[in-house]
Structure 1
């Protein structure tokens, strides 16, 4: 994934990160459903495995979304016009 993202031109990077964040948000929804999977008297080992997998999925997808927003913010900052310092007036 690292080589794919960094070899993309800056103009295409923001849409790529937006799609990645959308996929991760779907993973978070699925992870929340899995973490709440204990229904009725399903308290066996499989229920705990589902809860654990759900928590891990939510955690990793949250880190991915946060990192995606940080990288997107950094990429968009490249396109901002840099302010020039005011000229010094000597008297």
Structure 2
């Protein structure tokens, strides 16, 4: 299993747009074979940071999912939320492998 951790710097004044963006990506990851562990939004402290975690069975499975970016109409529409709203100022991805209690 490979887990993608996405670190976001967001515009706190556009949190509703970010939540719309996040809901679409949670749906798309799940629909295309991944497990979405959720988005983690600011509660207190720094108000411009958010995180997302999702997993695929392998890096190959993740790469198959990535082939849909910019091509599949649903992926394009989900990305358009980010582009048009300006809710995401910056993001980067880190790939990790989980060490689970029963693993």
Same fold (TM over 0.5): no
More helix by share: 1
More strand by share: 2
Q: Specify the structure having the higher radius of gyration (Cα).
A: 1
* TM norm structure 1: 0.32
